[in-house]
Structure 1
Amino acid sequence: MATFVHLTPAANAPRIRRAGIRALSHGRGSGLGAAGLGVYLFPVLPSYTLTHQWLRELARRPGPREAVAVHVRLADGEAVTVGRYGEREPAEVTVAEAVRAVRGLDDPRGWEVFLPRAVARGEVRSVRPVRGVNGWRYFPDAHGRTPCTCQGCLARGEYGARRLRERRPHPLDGPPPPPRVLLARVEAAEAAGDVVALGEALRWFAYRRRGPLERLARLARHPDPAVRVALAEAVAYWSTPGVADLLRELARDHDPDVSETARSVSEQS
């Protein structure tokens, strides 16, 4: 048996003591991570700070800031995934192997274990308050680096966000250019064979709720896979009819990056 910790708002503590931890998180990868919802955990290490390292990053999310640490015991042979955050294909291992992998790292910051199911009440060993604010924000070793102020990295409403944006405006701030301007950029980039400019124009389309799908669908057969990846990301959240069919076509692409991106955005949209 191995012990893990799951960090959650203190308001969830009564429900967890009564019924366990709900499976509410999406995993990563095409195997266990894609099998369904689950729970993110981290092995209990001798270092209190490393064990609770995700607390400071999780505290950036909207909602109550007071958190508790839920200690969970799992059987050594159960299947989980383990890897550093953001990995597209974390390793599929047993619980015992996941603990050994994390304990053997020189720097385990940013690593996580995904259990592809809910945690039962009988597997919860304790629910404890967390001392102070531990861990890192944004990513390990972010302190001292120039912060990124794009909409994906700096959420509106965060402490100091407005002043930071005023001091370091991001080139993608503000509303996206109108579709006719973006389509002109796409056509100019295609004519010049400029894949970088074509990808940049497609990225602007991702900020829109609808778009000219019939004018962009031909890019699903563009010879450069980077363009096809950018197309999948651009149309992922559009409500335009035909988006689902286009993503299904891209999910069958022979390039693994294209097919994986299309499947991933289809699951999230």
Structure 2
Amino acid sequence: MTDLVHLTPAGNARRVVRTGLAGRSPGWFGDRGVYCMPVLPSFTLTYQWVRELRRWKQSTLVGVQVRIPDDEPVTVGRYGQEPTRVSAAEAAATIRGLADPRGYEVFVPRPVAAAEVRRVRRVPQGIGWRYKPDAHGLRPCTCPACIQSGTPGAAQLRRRFPYENAPRTKPAIMADLRAATTSDDIEYALYELGMRRRGGAEELAFLADHPDPEVREALVRTLARYRGRAARELLERVQGAAPSRTGMRDRSS
């Protein structure tokens, strides 16, 4: 059995013990599940994500220790990079063997049952890194992907460190998406769309049967950020039309 730790707001603690982890976070391959870290010899590395996640979840976080079978299919990798599909035991061994495991994560592509939750514990709220490992002392990036609207102190940071390329509006992105003539242009527009408030997923239905598998994979990644029935149905349609290539590519509940 493999021991993993998931971080979640303290207000979820009782529900997690009662019903487990819902598995709502989007993964690289369009599935949904739970982000974790293996239990490492270093307490600091085990709970390294606390400070970063508190930027997005303005509440006290707790650690949920879970235990899943060693042969459970998961993915492992550094955030923002394509992960590798392995077993839970292999994922834990991979991270333990790294000289610097900061920024790595394990994704369990399913909910975690209450029976698999071992305990919930308090953790120090100042542990770990923010923005990225070794970011202290570097000029922060104030682009919309790194500092989203509503982030505490965002306006002050942008005054101090102006973002040179202002984000484009959604109508402008959608206009480029509909007018795109190459797969690269479509993929870039979908990437931009994933960083904005998106609205209804039905506006992307015209790409569901695109002949280029890389466009369909980019569409799956973008749809993973949408909510609602239309997004789920379109995601199922795209994934059912043509499976993603093996080896393609996302925190708390």
* TM value normalised by structure 2: 0.78
The match for 2:75 among 67, 76, 81 is: 81
Aligned residues: 223
Distance, in Å, in 1 between the alignment partners of 2:77 and 2:174 is 38
Summarize deviations over 1:159-214 as a string: whole Å, max 9, x none.
Answer: 432222112221234xx7xxxxxxxxxxxxxxxxxxxxxxxxxxx3xx2247774x
Q: What one-letter code is carried by the residue in structure 1 that aligns with 2:116?
A: E
Summarize deviations over 1:241-269 as a string: whole Å, max 9, x none.
Answer: 86421x2254x316x3x442233223434
Q: Which has the higher contact order (CA 8 A, sep 6+)?
A: 2
Instruction: Determine if contact 1:4/1:43 at 8 Å carries over to the other structure.
Output: yes
Distance, in Å, in 2 between the alignment partners of 1:264 and 1:50 is 28
Q: Who is 1:193 aligned against?
A: none
Report the secondary structure of 1:142's partner residue.
coil
Instruction: Determine if contact 2:174/2:189 at 8 Å carries over to the other structure.
Output: no
Q: What one-letter code is carried by the residue in structure 2 that aligns with 1:114?
A: F
Q: Who is 2:250 aligned against?
A: none
The match for 1:217 among 178, 186, 191 is: 178
Structure 1 residues 147 and 212: CA distance shift in structure 2, 3 A: closer
In percent, how many aligned pairs have the same letter?
A: 43
Distance, in Å, in 2 between the alignment partners of 1:218 and 1:157 is 32
Q: What one-letter code is carried by the residue in structure 1 that aligns with 2:89?
A: A
Q: What one-letter code is carried by the residue in structure 2 that aligns with 1:7?
A: L
The match for 2:163 among 166, 170, 183 is: 170
Instruction: Determine if contact 2:9/2:57 at 8 Å carries over to the other structure.
Output: no
The gaps in structure 2 that reach 5 residues or longer are: 227-253
1:38 paired with 2:25, answer no
Q: Who is 1:61 aligned against?
A: 56
Q: Who is 1:266 aligned against?
A: 223
Instruction: Determine if contact 2:50/2:125 at 8 Å carries over to the other structure.
Output: no
Distance, in Å, in 2 between the alignment partners of 1:45 and 1:78 is 19
Report the secondary structure of 1:93's partner residue.
strand
Instruction: Give the stretch that moved more between structures: 124-133 or 104-113.
Output: 124-133
The match for 1:208 among 150, 165, 170 is: 170
Structure 1 residues 208 and 97: CA distance shift in structure 2, 3 A: same
Instruction: Determine if contact 2:61/2:125 at 8 Å carries over to the other structure.
Output: no
* TM value normalised by structure 1: 0.74
Q: Who is 1:136 aligned against?
A: 129
The gaps in structure 1 that reach 5 residues or longer are: 177-203
Q: CA RMSD in A?
A: 2.5
Structure 1 residues 234 and 248: CA distance shift in structure 2, 3 A: farther
- The 4+ residue runs of structure 1 with deviation greater than 4 A are 209-213, 238-242
1:3 paired with 2:3, answer yes
The match for 1:253 among 212, 215, 226 is: 212
